[in-house]
Amino acid sequence: MKKFLSGNEAVARGAYEAGVKLAVGYPGTPSTEILETVAEEYRSIYSQWSPNEKVAFEVGIGASLGGARALVTMKHVGLNVAADPFMTFAYTGVNGGFVVISADDPEMHSSQNEQDNRFFAKFAQIPFLEPSDSQEAKDFVLKAFEISEKFDTPVMLRMTTRVSHSKGIVEENEPVVLPEGSFKRDMQKYVMIPSNAKKRHVVVTERLDKLREYSEKTELNKEENNGSKIGIITGGIAYQYVKEVIPDADYFKIGFGFPLPIDKIRKFVDAHQINLVIEELEPYYEEILKAAGIKVEGKKYFSRLGELSPYRVSLGMKEAGIINEAYSAEIEPEQLFPRPPILCPGCPHRGAFMALKKLGVAVTGDIGCYTLAVLPPLEIMDSCICMGASIGNAIGMEKVKGHKKGVVAVIGDSTFLHSGITGLLDAVYNRSNVTVVILDNRITAMTGGQQHPSTGYTLMGEPTKSVNFIELAKALGVESVREVDPYDYKKLLEVFKEEIEREGPSVVITNRPCVLMPKRIMDKPHRVILEDCNGCSACFRIGCPAILPSKELTKRNRPKAEIDPTLCTGCSLCAQVCQPEAIVLVEEPVVR
């Protein structure tokens, strides 16, 4: 049957068809929908969110050791967190097949860097496969499990944003029937004490030779000959872009990216006058081919920054002298105001940032919706490095007295559970004076609302224990732990001020849920009494999308404010900062 699936949905389907028994991961754009689809559509697979990617990876290893096929999903930077088990699991090899999805984010649509994880596979000396559309995403998952078991190795499936989030037509098949696997005790293989690991490293090297042979033979790497003198070596989404620009060139399409089929590519290159390597991000193929003495060009014409597109490929092709004209606009572009993403109307994070801005402290930030506080008009975040970094950053800055008004770390609930707990432990252990604000909106919001260990539900929808942040912080040794309503601006200022001045580490937890997930929260909206508005713009500065400049101006020609009643959730923060008290509740019912 044919279905219209995203790359992520296709991976989930592939896992189902491959007979996967356990699927695990941590949410992260662009990987999140894989596990969501598994949990929704393929209930025969046990699936779970783990608190972070390292744990997820280790759970996956356990399932593999237990003889089952396991799928582990994460975004590119998630693999940094899971790098420790990843690097050593490459030594032990698998029992049941093991595939890790690395969903890379060229162009950083929703990420803090655009690292190219193809190098990670090479680093760990494990094979990676790289699909270029949804159909391949599904097919390659099945192939990856076969390779994993055949060569006794974990396999990486490298997705990118445009493969994960683009949709295409996929032919669905029935799942394969596998013999029931089970754990087989093998201490020399799985217990990586130095004496065993030394032997396993030899195995890794021998395995690589076998994989090299396989790479030369597999259909995953294929030639397309159209009788052209131009040879294109490409893989992943870049293949589709180049096909769009010059469909009639000859292609060497790489689907199995490590180790590369050097001999096959050498022959292909020898048969063509012009040879170009076209790949997104780093010159990964190009460097390997050049090191093997194969004459190709690549990054000379195509940027290593951001993602490619038909347009960007056409620019490079023109520069390389392959085509005469790149794509161009037939209609003059228009320069417009920017429309950056901002915190939603009624977002429970807004109040905390308004208060921190008022107090003038340094704010070390973290990964989540709240990172948007760095953008105008709030502009109150001083660092954002990786998951959990806020607390360590704050400790360090406070130790060197980097900011005279104090340092506050802000971190979301899911991020805190992912990798903030150890940071807080450090603050206690090392007698830090930092204040840690846990912005607890009770969901993993940025990635679209996933469950985590404090929401009370598992990925598969079962009720479970919910971690209590107050007890957790106290158990780590924090003496001052306070909860505050982030819709109460005065109280926020008061509590933050006291905790920042307090000796020793303290924790403040803001306790309102996300207004979007799991339920949309809409209270009675507010409105502006225009004759009372003096155009002071205090409400504009809280950065709420529901507050708009009115067409009515003050005597000094400043716009008064108005509130869109269909967007306003009634959080009342704007009313709390309005000096002339011009913002009031709407009493009559509103049609939204």
- Quick check: 21 and 59 in contact, CB under 8 A? no
Question: Is 332 one of the binding residues for another protein (CB under 8 A)?
Answer: yes
Q: Which two tokens stand for residue 266?
A: 């050498």
Nearest distance in Å: CB 305, another protein? 17
53-65 and 83-92 helices cross at what angle (nearest 10)? 20
Is residue 119 within the footprint of another protein (CB under 8 A)? no
Q: What would the two tokens of residue 261 be?
A: 């089929």
CA–CA gap between residue 221 and residue 217 (Å, rounded): 8
Contact 24, 52 (CB under 8 A): no
- Helix extents (H) in 346-444: 349-359, 389-399, 413-419, 421-429
- Tell me: does residue 540 bind another protein (CB under 8 A): yes
- Among the listed ranges 323-331, 389-397, 460-468, 501-509, the one in contact with another protein (CB under 8 A) is 323-331
Stretch that binds another protein, among 78-86, 295-303, 336-344, 430-438 (CB under 8 A): 336-344
Chosen residue from 36, 53, 133, 499 binding another protein by CB under 8 A: 133
Residue 244 within binding range of another protein, rule CB under 8 A? yes
Q: 96: which DSSP letter? A: S
Given the complex with another protein, which of 246 and 425 has the nearer CB atom?
246
Q: Which of 66, 396, 549, 565 binds another protein (CB under 8 A)?
A: 549
Binder among 66, 396, 545, 565 for another protein (CB under 8 A): 545
C-alpha–C-alpha distance, residues 320 and 54, integer Å: 43
CA nearest neighbour of 434 among 501, 380, 383 = 501
- Measured between alpha carbons, how far is 249 from 313 in angstroms, rounded to an integer? 14
Please report how close the Cβ of residue 53 comes to another protein at its closest, in angstroms: 17
What is the per-residue DSSP string for 484-544?
E-TT-HHHHHHHHHHHHHSSS-EEEEE-PPPSSSSS----PPEEE-GGG-----TTGGGT-
Measured distance CA(485)–CA(512) in Å, rounded: 7
Using CB under 8 A as the criterion, what x/- string covers residues 352-391 for binding another protein?
-----------------x--x---xx--------------
Q: Is 241 in the site for another protein (CB under 8 A)?
A: yes
Q: How far is it between the farthest Cα atoms of the chain?
A: 83
Q: Which of 92, 447, 511, 572 binds another protein (CB under 8 A)?
A: 447
- Choose which of 171, 248, 341, 405 interacts with another protein (CB under 8 A): 341
* CA 574 – CA 552 distance, rounded (Å): 19
Give the nearer residue to another protein in terms of CB position, either 553 or 585: 553
CB of 265 to another protein, least distance (A): 22
Residues near another protein (CB under 8 A) are 2, 4, 29-30, 33, 109-110, 133, 161-162, 165-169, 237, 240-241, 243-245, 247, 309-311, 314, 327-334, 336-344, 369, 372, 376-377, 446-448, 537, 540, 543-545, 547-549, 559, 561, 566, 591-592
